[in-house]
Structures are given as C-alpha cells and as structure tokens.
C-alpha cells in the first residue's frame, strides 16, 4: 500500500471562499478536528498577510496535535530584499511552524509580467528562499504556482523552477493548478514527466474551475505524485480547492492507498458538517460521500432493490464515511415508502388499507403547498397519526396576538406576545416578550402550557430556519419554517408553511410540542 500525504489548506486557501470568514478561535477548533481525522499537514495561514494568522500560530502552539504538523504559508522573498531581511520570510519563521510552504513562480509569463524580473533572477529567488528556510525549520515545501499553465507555455522553464527549489533543499515539489482550468489527461501526462525527472517527492494542489479538481488530484497521484493538497468540502477562492472529503475515501476505499485509517474515514461526515457549521454555510445535500442526499433513495424501484442488496444502488457502504441510508418521503415515492415509514414509526397499518391512499393524497396536497418533510419527519409522523386516528389534542388556541413596536430609529423594537389557550376545560391567558416576534410567541406558548405539561420544560429549540419559497413576490412571498427541537434524548424536526412567517412558525412550534407530548 503506497502512502499518500494529506495536506489540508482549509484554514488558508479555504478561508478565501466567498462568504467565509474564520475567527482565530474557529481556526483552532478546525485544526483540532483535522488532527482527529489524521491529516498529516495543516496549513494554518499566511502570517505575512494578516494579523489574524499571526495570532493563530501563536495560539496554535498550545494545541496538542497527535497526527498533524502545522505548516505556515508564504511567498519567496522579494526581489529587492535578501532572504534574511525579507519581512515575509521573517514572519514565516516567527510563526514557529515546523513546516514552511513557500510559493514561487514557474510560469515565465508571470515572472516577466507580475514580478517584472528576469527569468534567472526568479530562479535565484526560489533557491535562495528555500535554502535559507531549510536551515531553520524541519521541512520546506515548494508550491510551484501556475505550474501546469507554465509547463504548457514553456516546459523547460517550469522544470527549471522546480530544479531551483530542489537544489535549495526543498522536501517536496507541489505542482499547483492555480487557475483550476486543467483536465485530467493533461495533469496525468505532466505529472508523469515531472516525477521521472526528480527524486524529490511531488505533490498536487488543484482548484476546481473546470469541475475536475478531485479527478485531477487522483490522476496526479496515480501518475507519480505522493502528496495531495485540498480543503474540507472544497472550500476556496472562486470555485474552490480540491475536496479532501471526496479525495480521502476515493484513495482509501477505492484505490487502497495508505492515507488515513478506516476508523478515521468514518469521521468524514462529522468533520465535513463541522466545518460547514463553523463557516456558517449550508451543508451541500448532494455532496459526494457525506451529503444528506448521498445515500438517499427516492424512486420506488431503487428503494426496493437497495433494501434487498445495498450494492445495487450504492457505490460504498454509507457507514464507511459516517453517513447513512435514507428513504425519502416524496410524491414520487407513493405507497411503498409510506408503509416503510409506518414500520419505522411503529404504526400498525395493513398494506391494503385505504388509509394509505389518504395519507399519500394529503402528503401530495401539502407538498404542493410548499411543505417538505425531508427535514421535518416529526411533522410527517403527526400527519400519519392524524390519519390513523392515533393523534390526540392537547390544547386549544383561543387567541394569540403579537405586537412589535418601534419608537425610535436605530433602536431595536420590542416584541410582545399574548396568548390564551384551553386545556381540559381550564383557560390560561398569559404574555411574554422575546428577541423577536417568533421568540415572543414561543415564550408565551411555553409559559401557558408548561403549567399543564411540565415535561415541556425539557424541550429546547435547537435550530430555526426560514426559507422563502416563491421568488419574485417581494415581502408577500410564502415562507417555510423548519424548527429542530430536542430533549435530553431525542431530536426532531417540524415544519410550517404560510405567507405569514408568524403563522408558519406557529405551525412548526405546535407540531414540535404535540410530538413531544404524544411521545409522553
């Protein structure tokens, strides 16, 4: 089993993603997760470019990493400085990172147009910078920027830039597809010719602009490279970097390379979601291996087949990457899926019962209105229980009012909710404030009901999502609210849909409470 080195640059290249901005604290937490996953090198930042990255390396000294070495990223020294006087080189050394990765130019066009120095001078910059650093840290990696474009334009010069780094003592020559436009066959051929020419190990750093970053990385590794750089979830500038969350299982589970342990591939989904949450993005449902849809089956025929033999429609066992199979509730699914869900919920229903038809009909009707049960299974379970007469009413709403009042520009408004409910002949009338109208309503409803149902005190609202459904209708658009609730043991999702966000939230809140009370 050939060993492949994994180098993660989520904290540096990944932080260049549009919409992503990591705090130092975020970066430290991500570094710990990467270490837990068994990544060999973690590129923590570019200490010469911003104070946040300087602070990261300072604080990172306290991390107790078991598997990973930290790498600091920067450029070769500036043409007008000596390496020893160069502020960028100094900040790299001050970072205290045992590995330093520096990038240099390997495309002659960039040397003359961006650096505006001679080709020979650029080669000196590279070898000087590498050899100066090599005497002072454990490992120096050389990132050959625009290597593939450079090689296509002038292969001799591109190889000379690698030679300069190798002569300076570089431990690794990383071939970068900086613009991300390469296709797999080019990558394969070029990496092969480099690997034949150098005894220093070769790495690949791919971007996804032609939608081939994962394939390009695999192709490079199959063609002689032994080190791969990428980011969690493919975060990165423009179209992102090569996605390590896809590369790792491709290498380990399909090609049998030695990179992380089989125990660690099981962490991939968790790590992927963790980085998404920290970056405050949505997890991409169709993300290969770890997306929520990656092992979700919608069509009836597929569902039947997968339940018989998982290999029929699944390329790997989902557990291997910490994912799981899902059977989707959907208008394409029909009767057999409803029966399967009934079994899952422990509801007794004969397979020829007319109630199934009613459930399917109601489901379709509600889906047409914008309801969606894929993130709100508790609401679907309630829907089924209502049809099966297994539902009971725990309270009656007599009236509710929410008032939002703003008395001055620039001041947050006050939100107040009043509510009147009836439980078993007794009326409760109460009021509460909140950070916003939905929060106020939630507070008032709980206050009114906890008197009768003390078990509601255990329920917490964990997440609240709002989705505008009908684009192009301005503020009168329909919205769907998804609420995730939990008690000490379980989590459940509920849904509401209305043109009025308060009404949609109300529906989801009531479902959440009823679900809890039905569970007892």
Site for its own copies in 288-327 (CB under 8 A): 288-289, 291-299, 302, 305, 308-309, 311-316
The neighbouring-strand residues paired with 204 are: 175, 228
- The CA distance from 275 to 32, in Å, is 11
- The whole-angstrom distance between residue 368's C-alpha and the CA centroid of its chain comes to 30
45 is a site residue for its own copies (CB under 8 A):
no
475 is a site residue for its own copies (CB under 8 A):
yes
Whether the Cβ atoms of residue 48 and residue 91 lie closer than 8 Å to each other? yes
**Which of 171, 240 has the CB closer to its own copies?**
240
Candidates 476, 488, 489, 520; binder of its own copies (CB under 8 A) is 476
Identify which range of 194-202, 344-352, 353-361, 396-404 contacts its own copies by CB under 8 A. Answer: 396-404
- The whole-angstrom distance between residue 34's C-alpha and the CA centroid of its chain comes to 13
- The CA distance from 199 to 187, in Å, is 19
**Which of 150, 168 has the CB closer to its own copies?**
150
Residues 6+ apart with CB under 8 A from 118: 111
Helix (H) or strand (E) holding 110, with range, is helix 108-110
- The CA distance from 227 to 220, in Å, is 9
Residue 210 burial (CB count, 10 A)? 17
Whole-number minimum distance, CB 219 to its own copies, in Å?
Answer: 6
Candidates 34, 54, 176, 483; binder of its own copies (CB under 8 A) is 483
143 is a site residue for its own copies (CB under 8 A):
no
219 is a site residue for its own copies (CB under 8 A):
yes
Candidates 256, 399, 424, 520; binder of its own copies (CB under 8 A) is 399
468 is a site residue for its own copies (CB under 8 A):
yes
Identify which range of 122-130, 196-204, 338-346, 494-502 contacts its own copies by CB under 8 A. Answer: 494-502
Residues 6+ apart with CB under 8 A from 310: 317, 325
Q: Measuring CA to CA, how many Å separate 298 from each of 131, 283, 340, 377?
A: 58, 20, 12, 15
239 is a site residue for its own copies (CB under 8 A):
yes
**Which of 14, 200 has the CB closer to its own copies?**
14
Whether the CA torsion 366, 367, 371, 376 is positive or negative: it is positive
**Which of 285, 429 has the CB closer to its own copies?**
285
Residues 6+ apart with CB under 8 A from 389: none
- The CA distance from 115 to 252, in Å, is 40
Cα dihedral value 275, 276, 279, 281, nearest 10: 180
**Which of 203, 291 has the CB closer to its own copies?**
291
**Which of 238, 457 has the CB closer to its own copies?**
238
The pattern of x and - marking residues 47 through 86 that bind its own copies according to CB under 8 A reads ---x------------------------------------
**Which of 68, 180 has the CB closer to its own copies?**
180
Identify which range of 80-88, 134-142, 193-201, 474-482 contacts its own copies by CB under 8 A. Answer: 474-482
Candidates 10, 17, 229, 231; binder of its own copies (CB under 8 A) is 17
Candidates 8, 86, 374, 377; binder of its own copies (CB under 8 A) is 374
Candidates 98, 343, 458, 466; binder of its own copies (CB under 8 A) is 466
- The CA distance from 410 to 436, in Å, is 16
SS3 455: helix
460 is a site residue for its own copies (CB under 8 A):
yes
397 is a site residue for its own copies (CB under 8 A):
yes
Alpha helices in 284-389 (DSSP H): 300-308, 335-344, 354-369, 377-387
Q: Which of the residues 157 through 186 are near its own copies (CB under 8 A)? A: 178-181, 183-185
Phi/psi at 459 (nearest 5 deg)? -80, 130
282 is a site residue for its own copies (CB under 8 A):
yes
SS3 383: helix
118 is a site residue for its own copies (CB under 8 A):
no
**CA nearest to 153, candidates 174, 179, 130, 172:** 179
Whether the Cβ atoms of residue 269 and residue 321 lie closer than 8 Å to each other? yes
The pattern of x and - marking residues 247 through 266 that bind its own copies according to CB under 8 A reads x--x---xx-----------
490 is a site residue for its own copies (CB under 8 A):
no
**Which of 171, 289 has the CB closer to its own copies?**
289
**CA nearest to 147, candidates 132, 126, 117:** 126
Whole-number minimum distance, CB 312 to its own copies, in Å?
Answer: 7
**CA nearest to 25, candidates 65, 56, 61, 50:** 56
Identify which range of 37-45, 108-116, 197-205, 449-457 contacts its own copies by CB under 8 A. Answer: 108-116
Identify which range of 157-165, 243-251, 338-346, 381-389 contacts its own copies by CB under 8 A. Answer: 243-251
Whether the Cβ atoms of residue 424 and residue 489 lie closer than 8 Å to each other? no
453 is a site residue for its own copies (CB under 8 A):
no
114 is a site residue for its own copies (CB under 8 A):
yes
**Which of 124, 499 has the CB closer to its own copies?**
499
Candidates 110, 227, 267, 341; binder of its own copies (CB under 8 A) is 110
The pattern of x and - marking residues 186 through 215 that bind its own copies according to CB under 8 A reads ----------------------xxxxx-xx
- The CA distance from 481 to 465, in Å, is 6
Identify which range of 164-172, 264-272, 392-400, 450-458 contacts its own copies by CB under 8 A. Answer: 392-400
44 is a site residue for its own copies (CB under 8 A):
no
């Amino acid at each position: 089993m050939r060993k492949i080195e994994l180098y993660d640059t989520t904290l540096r290249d990944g932080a260049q993603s549009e919409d992503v901005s990591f705090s130092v604290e975020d970066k430290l937490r991500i570094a710990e997760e990467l270490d837990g996953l068994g990544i060999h090198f973690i590129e923590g930042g570019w200490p010469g470019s911003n104070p946040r990255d300087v602070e990261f390396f300072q604080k990172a000294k306290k991390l107790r990493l078991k598997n990973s070495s930290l790498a600091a990223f920067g450029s070769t020294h500036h043409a007008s400085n000596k390496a020893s006087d160069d502020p960028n080189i100094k900040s790299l050394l001050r970072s205290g990172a045992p590995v330093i990765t520096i990038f240099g130019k390997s495309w002659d066009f960039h040397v003359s147009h961006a650096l505006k120095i001679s080709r020979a001078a650029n080669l000196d910059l590279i070898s000087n910078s590498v050899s100066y650093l090599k005497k002072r840290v454990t490992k120096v990696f050389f990132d050959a920027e625009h290597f593939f474009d450079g090689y296509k334009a002038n292969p001799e010069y591109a190889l000379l830039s690698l030679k300069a780094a190798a002569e300076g003592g570089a431990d690794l020559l990383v071939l970068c597809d900086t613009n991300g436009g390469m296709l797999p066959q080019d990558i394969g051929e070029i990496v092969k010719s480099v690997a034949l020419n150098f005894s220093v190990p070769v790495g690949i750093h791919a971007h996804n602009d032609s939608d081939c970053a994962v394939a390009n990385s695999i192709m490079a590794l199959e063609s002689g490279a032994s080190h791969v750089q990428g980011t969690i979830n493919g975060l990165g500038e423009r179209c992102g970097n090569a996605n390590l969350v896809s590369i790792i299982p491709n290498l380990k589970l399909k090609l049998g390379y030695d990179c992380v342990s089989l125990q660690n591939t099981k962490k991939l989904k968790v790590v992927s979601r963790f980085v998404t949450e920290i970056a405050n993005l949505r997890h991409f449902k169709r993300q290969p291996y770890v997306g929520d849809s990656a092992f979700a089956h919608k069509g009836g025929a597929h569902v039947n087949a997968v339940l018989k033999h998982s290999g029929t429609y699944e390329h790997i066992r989902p557990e291997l990457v910490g994912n799981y199979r899902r059977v989707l509730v959907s208008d394409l699914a029909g009767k057999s899926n409803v029966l399967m869900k009934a079994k899952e919920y422990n509801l007794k229903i004969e397979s020829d019962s007319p109630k199934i038809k009613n459930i399917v009909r109601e489901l379709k009707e509600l889906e047409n209105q914008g309801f969606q049960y894929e993130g709100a299974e508790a609401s679907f379970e309630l829907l089924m229980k209502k049809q099966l007469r297994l539902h009971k009413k725990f309270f009656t709403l007599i009236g509710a009012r929410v008032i939002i009042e703003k008395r001055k520009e620039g001041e947050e408004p006050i939100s107040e909710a009043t509510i009147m409910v009836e439980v078993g002949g007794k009326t409760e009338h109460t009021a509460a404030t909140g950070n916003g109208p939905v929060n106020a309503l939630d507070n008032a409803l709980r206050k009114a009901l906890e008197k009768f149902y003390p078990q509601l005190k255990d329920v917490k609202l964990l997440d609240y999502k709002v989705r505008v459904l009908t684009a192009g209708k301005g503020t009168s658009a329909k919205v769907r609210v998804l609420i995730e609730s939990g008690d000490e043991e379980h989590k459940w999702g509920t849904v509401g849909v209305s043109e009025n966000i308060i009404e949609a939230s109300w529906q989801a809140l009531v479902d959440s409470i009823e679900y809890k009370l039905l569970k007892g």
